[in-house]
Structure 1
Amino acid sequence: MRISGEPGFVLHARAWRETSLLVEVLSANHGRVGLVARGVQGPKRHALRAALQPLQSIRFDAVQRGELAQLRGAEAMDAAPRLSGDAMVSAFYLNELTLRLVPRGDALPELFLAYANTRQRLRDGEPLAWTLRRYERDLLDALGIGFDWSLEAGGGPVDPAARYRVDPEAGPVRMLSDRGAQDRRQGATGRGLLALAADEFPQAGDLAGLRHVLRAVLAAHLGPRGLKSWEMLSGLPGRAGFDPALRDQGGD
């Protein structure tokens, strides 16, 4: 199968053999695609190597034979966001999460758009915690394992005054008021869930709860092997402005 002029975002690239790269791309019409980019070393191939860096928007040609496609050409469509500090770590998390949960070969146009929007939000310096919660929600939806965050698992409306855990299969489940304080802190407010459902910036204090419940859902689908970004982020010192929804993901 030939892939021609396909828009995509580079998720990951690593050296392969002496002069080649193995590249993972989230594409507009073919979903996640694994590419073999041969002969990318040398001064004459600098533009191609630059186009194959993570977070880069590209247009590429390839020939699909088996699990991996042979890259025939690629060009950068814009300058990748210049990120540093927390934003750079957030981008690493974004790409790793996508690689782990998105299967190769499934066209997911809604996810491609969600990734494009998230990349732009990182470029624009929008609040990291909310930016990543929105992408996690959209990723689950695109994979068909998300929920209507405005409805309880039983079908009734979410109560903004209540607190919820989220069952990875059924959705929001109201937490009983007699549960321990620590246990209830692992849940989300109904108000926060409704904000997530409406794509409205949550009120102060609600983002941490959204992180807890989305993490639980993601962890259930990731299985026993966590994310490298969770391990890396768990050791970072707290800093003003750092996304608390990332910092605690290395473990409770």
Structure 2
Amino acid sequence: MRVEQQPAFILHARAYRETSLLLECLTRDHGRVGLVARGVRRERTRTPRALLQPLTPLQLGWSGRGELATLTQIDAAGSGFDLHGEALLCALYLNELVLRLTPRQDAHPALFADYMETLARIARGEPQAWTLRRFERDLLAHLGYALVLDAEGDDGAPIVPDQDYCYRHEHGPAPWRDTRDGIRVRGSALLALKQDKIPARADLAALRRLMRALIAAHLDGGELRAWRMLGAVAVRDQDASGES
């Protein structure tokens, strides 16, 4: 199989053999793909090394079948996202999240569009914690794990904003009781995530705990390295008043 001019981002790159790189890329029409960039670590190479890094919109070409194909073309498709500090950590978190949760060669064009838009939101300085929660919600939905946010999981009763709920993986929300397991979250937080409206500060903190627990469940209880780096980024966003 030969692919040309495919919109893509590099999620991760690591050394491969003596002179090559192994690239994990998110592409628009082919999902996550593994590519071998042969010979690019030589002193003299025709491949522009500045493009072989995350956060740069690319046009890629490759050939081959199976889990690893060979990179045959790489061109810039726009200016890279020049992020620093906490904004850069948020972008690297997106990359690790996509890398860990998505299978190879499972196309999700809408996920690619959401990924690009989330990078743009981070670059524009939009509230970081809320931006990440929105992407986590949409990523799980694209992968077939959409959250139940406006009704109880057992009987479909509408979510009440001022009531506490227990959100359980694979079951959804249920009224909170001290004996229940799961993550405690207010109905107002669930509805804010459903309606795409930035929640109050306390609700945003609860949504962070909820999304981490759900993502960890899909990682079989594992963790993401970026979670440790993002410890200081948690809940500093503005209250919901005046926001949409």
Same fold (TM over 0.5): yes
Moved over 3 A (4+): 42-47, 231-234
Secondary structure of the corresponding residue to residue 53 of structure 1: coil
Give me the whole-angstrom Cα distance separating, in 1, the residues matched to 2:9 and 2:93: 15
Does residue 1:174 correspond to 2:182, yes or no?
no
TM-score by length of 2: 0.89
Q: Deviations over 1:139-167 (max 9, x none)?
A: 10000011231122121211111122322
Aligned 1:1-252 pairs, distance under 5 A: 1-42=1-42, 45=45, 48-154=48-154, 155-176=156-177, 178=178, 186-234=183-231, 238=232, 242-244=233-235
Structure 1 unaligned blocks of 5 or more: 246-252
Secondary structure of the corresponding residue to residue 165 of structure 1: strand
1:46 Cα shift?
A: 7.5
1:2 Cα shift?
A: 1.2
Structure 2 unaligned blocks of 5 or more: 237-244
Contact 2:201 2:235 (8 Å CA) reproduced: no
1:44 Cα shift?
A: 5.5
Q: Deviations over 1:148-190 (max 9, x none)?
A: 31122121211111122322212222212x569xx89x52211
Letter matched to residue 168 of structure 1: H
Contact 1:28 1:109 (8 Å CA) reproduced: yes
Secondary structure of the corresponding residue to residue 206 of structure 1: helix
1:233 Cα shift?
A: 3.9
TM-score by length of 1: 0.86
Give me the whole-angstrom Cα distance separating, in 2, the residues matched to 1:229 and 1:162: 32
Residue in structure 1 matched with residue 240 of structure 2 by the alignment = none
Contact 1:166 1:216 (8 Å CA) reproduced: no
1:219 Cα shift?
A: 0.7
Give me the whole-angstrom Cα distance separating, in 1, the residues matched to 2:113 and 2:174: 30
Contact 2:31 2:106 (8 Å CA) reproduced: yes
Q: Deviations over 1:25-46 (max 9, x none)?
A: 1111100000101111356548
Q: Deviations over 1:18-72 (max 9, x none)?
A: 2211111111110000010111135654863222201221111101322111100
Letter matched to residue 111 of structure 2: L
Give me the whole-angstrom Cα distance separating, in 1, the residues matched to 2:76 and 2:149: 37
Aligned residues between the structures? 235
Give me the whole-angstrom Cα distance separating, in 1, the residues matched to 2:91 and 2:8: 16
1:209 Cα shift?
A: 0.7
Identical aligned residues as a percent: 47
Give me the whole-angstrom Cα distance separating, in 2, the residues matched to 1:64 and 1:137: 33
Contact 2:21 2:41 (8 Å CA) reproduced: no
Contact 1:21 1:36 (8 Å CA) reproduced: yes
Contact 2:40 2:47 (8 Å CA) reproduced: no
